[in-house]
Structure 1
Amino acid sequence: MAVLHCDGSLTADRASYGGIICDDAVVAIMAYAGKGDINSVLGMELFAILKGVTFCIQRNLLRVSIKSDSKLAVDILNGAVDCPWSKQILRDRIAMLLQQLQRKEIKHVWRELNQPADFIAAMDTRDGEAIFYPLDFPQDLVELVKNDSDCKVFLRTLSH
């Protein structure tokens, strides 16, 4: 089963999205990043998923584990919570794509487990979209993907 890690980002001056697609052995297949025009974090998170699922279908990867650090986006796509009306068209577009998959799961992961997608979403692609293949990955991204394939353990600390 392919793994799709997605992330959306919204700062004061930029909306962006990104993701990375790996095979079932956590070997990177491709990554993508782009500038968005949706003025909400949820919108960018959903858009990152939309783009990632589109890339999976284009590459005939039809068994996909979708992972996002946005619990709200995951809950919306799994039908656990209602979607805000302003994001329903985006959710419906994703739902139509998901029907094309032979097998799917949509899971929430902690931010520490989504670091490659977070790194990619923060990349400056000017006004367009960029696709990266493993030989072109920046060294920092190579290290983050290696941490995933090595099953690096992250410990969370609770602050009081």
Structure 2
Amino acid sequence: MTALHCDGSLTADRASYGGIIRDDTGAAIMAYAGKGDDNSVLGMELLAILGGVTLYIQKDLLRVSIRSDSKLAADILNGIVSCPWSLQTLKVRITSLMEQLQRKEIRHVWRELNQPADFVAAIDTGDGESFLYRPNFPPDLVELIKNDSDRKTYFRTPSH
């Protein structure tokens, strides 16, 4: 299986999403980023998953482990909790596309394990969607991916 790490981003002036596709060895092979128009983080998280699943099908990659740092998005797509009505159409688009996959899983991962996808989601793509391939990754993204490969340990600080 290959892995799709995806993330949504919502700031005061921009809604966006992005993701990274990794091969079965864990090496990042491509990334995608786009601008959204939903004013919810959950909407952007689901758009990130939709963008990734769409790419998987276009590239005939039919075995995927989807990894999101949104537990709610993972739980919705795994049928654990119901989807807000405002995002139901988006959920149905994702689940319909996922029926074309031969093997799939949707997993929640901690935010620290999703830093490369978070970085990609923050890339300003203007009004469209952008695709990046491994030789053209920005240096900061290469560093984040290297940290993952080196199994860098992240420590959470307690919230007060």
Question: Same fold judged by TM-score > 0.5?
Answer: yes
Alignment of structure 1 residues 120-159 onto 2, 5 Å: 120-159=120-159
Q: What is the TM-score of this pair, normalised by structure 2?
A: 0.97
Q: How many equivalent residue pairs?
A: 160
Match in the other structure for 2:92: 92
* Separation in structure 2 between the aligned mates of residue 89 and residue 126 of structure 1, nearest angstrom: 25
Moved more, 143-152 or 88-97: 143-152
Secondary structure of 1:17 counterpart: strand
Q: What is the TM-score of this pair, normalised by structure 1?
A: 0.97
Q: Which runs of 4+ in 1 moved over 3 A?
A: none
* Separation in structure 1 between the aligned mates of residue 106 and residue 19 of structure 2, nearest angstrom: 14
Alignment of structure 1 residues 26-105 onto 2, 5 Å: 26-105=26-105
* Separation in structure 1 between the aligned mates of residue 148 and residue 98 of structure 2, nearest angstrom: 25
* Separation in structure 2 between the aligned mates of residue 85 and residue 77 of structure 1, nearest angstrom: 14
1:111-156 alpha-carbon deviations (Å, 9 max, x no partner): 1000000000001111111000011100010111112222222222
* Separation in structure 2 between the aligned mates of residue 77 and residue 21 of structure 1, nearest angstrom: 19
Match in the other structure for 1:109: 109
> For structure 2, which runs of at least 5 residues remain unmatched after alignment?
none
User: Cα RMSD (Å) of the superposition?
Assistant: 0.9
Match in the other structure for 2:8: 8
* Separation in structure 1 between the aligned mates of residue 151 and residue 97 of structure 2, nearest angstrom: 30
Return the letter of the residue paired with 1:51.
G
> For structure 1, which runs of at least 5 residues remain unmatched after alignment?
none
1:37-72 alpha-carbon deviations (Å, 9 max, x no partner): 111111010000000011011111111000000111
Return the letter of the residue paired with 1:37.
D
